[in-house]
């Protein structure tokens, strides 16, 4: 991708919550509006106006699914003139009105347009596997996230590290080797509530948990790296990998399980394991 197109996409991503007028973009770029759109389509295969509209709709869908923010807030945040126009456009694109999209128990990611800057292509494709989820203990830690911090790697990494330290104390000095994570809208604040549950290897079998439930379907993503890199991978999975998959995310916890025999733990600067997302086949 040429540097001009890349810079243009970066600018678009940074301004999705602002009014983007193609005439103004063309004037700033030094190209005519027609030539600007032609260059963009040659480089990306998409019309410039289509990309902007679909990125706004995609980010609004994520906001609706992960928070309890009013529909009008999503409409205003992503540049729609009013709630009626937003609902009409959203419904035509996702085949569901915003309120029903939010209420669906399973999250179908089809239709979400990833950023064209996505580096997800460098990630290994996940494999479908069946797993008995861990028996969740009382070693939990929850925190609230404002929509502005949803994609902040540092924020989420710091929150998880605080939870890990708390869990290590409650586990009498043992280092957690797996965690389960669940997100849900917090209706009282309009924010996102994330709940983390931690456990040790002794709490689970070789597949990751006590056999207290029947095996269920998950997507498995191998991982090796730092805590911040794990957070970044989680974000890439939701924003760039799942929209290209046929499965839907079902209700349940995401899981991260340290690899068997790996000497490091989740508090280490470098560790490896597998990240699982609960899904159903479509």
DSSP string computed for 148-211: GGTT-HHHHHHHHHHHHHHHHHHTTTPPP-EEEEEEEE-TTTSSEEEEEEEE-GGGS-TTSS-S
Does residue 17 or residue 64 have the better pLDDT? 64
Every domain of the chain with CATH number 1.10.10.60 lies at 3-104
Query: For the whole model, what pTM was predicted?
Result: 0.85
* Closest to 184 (Cα-Cα) out of 128, 242, 249, 239: 249
* Closest to 271 (Cα-Cα) out of 152, 119, 183, 160: 160
Can you give the pLDDT at residue 122? 65
Does residue 136 or residue 16 have the better pLDDT? 16
Mean pLDDT value of segment 30-56: 92
Can you give the pLDDT at residue 72? 93
Average pLDDT, the chain: 87
Instruction: Give the integer Cα–Cα distance in Å for 16 and 14.
Output: 6
- H or E element at residue 10: helix 3-14
Flag whether pLDDT at 47 surpasses 60: yes
Mean pLDDT value of segment 82-104: 94
pLDDT category of residue 269 using cuts at 50, 70 and 90:
confident
CATH number of 127-280: 3.20.80.10
Taking the CA atoms of residue 253, residue 258, residue 264 and residue 266 in that order, the dihedral angle to the nearest 10 degrees is 0
Return the DSSP state at 237: I
Can you give the pLDDT at residue 203? 47
Return the DSSP state at 188: T
Mean pLDDT value of segment 157-180: 89
Can you give the pLDDT at residue 208? 47
Flag whether pLDDT at 244 surpasses 80: yes
Mean pLDDT value of segment 249-266: 86
Mean pLDDT value of segment 61-72: 90
- H or E element at residue 169: helix 153-170
In this structure, of 19-23, 58-62, 163-167, the range with the lowest mean pLDDT score is 19-23
Can you give the pLDDT at residue 148? 84
Every domain of the chain with CATH number 3.20.80.10 lies at 127-280
Q: Is the Cα torsion angle 241, 246, 250, 254 positive or negative in sign?
A: negative
Mean pLDDT value of segment 164-178: 86
Give tens-digit pLDDT for 36-46.
999 999 999 99
Which CA distances in Å does 139 have to 83, 136, 199?
A: 42, 8, 7
In this structure, of 4-8, 118-122, 169-173, 232-236, the range with the lowest mean pLDDT score is 118-122
CATH number of 3-104: 1.10.10.60
Flag whether pLDDT at 170 surpasses 70: yes
């Amino acid at each position: 991708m040429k540097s001009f197109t890349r810079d243009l996409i970066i600018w678009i991503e940074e301004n999705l919550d602002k009014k983007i007028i193609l005439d103004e973009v063309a004037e700033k770029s030094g190209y005519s509006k027609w030539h600007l759109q032609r260059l963009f389509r040659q480089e990306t295969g998409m019309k410039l106006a289509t990309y902007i509209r679909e990125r706004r709709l995609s980010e609004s869908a994520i906001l609706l699914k992960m928070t309890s923010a009013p529909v009008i807030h999503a409409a205003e945040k992503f540049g729609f003139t009013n709630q009626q126009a937003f609902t009409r456009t959203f419904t035509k694109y996702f085949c569901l009105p915003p309120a029903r999209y939010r209420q669906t128990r399973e999250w179908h990611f089809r239709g979400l347009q990833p950023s064209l800057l996505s580096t997800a292509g460098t990630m290994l494709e996940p494999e479908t596997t069946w797993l008995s989820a861990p028996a969740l203990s009382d070693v939990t830690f929850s925190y609230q996230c404002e929509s502005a911090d949803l994609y902040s790697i540092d924020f989420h990494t710091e929150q998880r590290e605080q939870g890990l330290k708390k869990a290590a104390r409650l586990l009498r000095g043992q280092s957690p080797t797996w965690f389960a994570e669940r997100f849900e809208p917090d209706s009282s604040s309009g924010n996102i509530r994330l709940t983390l549950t931690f456990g040790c290897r002794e709490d689970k079998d070789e597949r990751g948990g006590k056999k207290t439930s029947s095996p269920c379907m998950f997507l498995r993503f191998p991982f090796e790296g730092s805590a911040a890199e794990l957070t970044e991978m989680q974000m890439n999975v939701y924003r760039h990998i799942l929209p290209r998959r046929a499965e839907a995310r079902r209700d349940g916890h995401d899981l991260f399980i340290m690899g068997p025999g790996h000497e490091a733990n989740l508090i280490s600067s470098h560790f490896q394991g597998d990240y699982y997302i609960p899904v159903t086949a479509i």
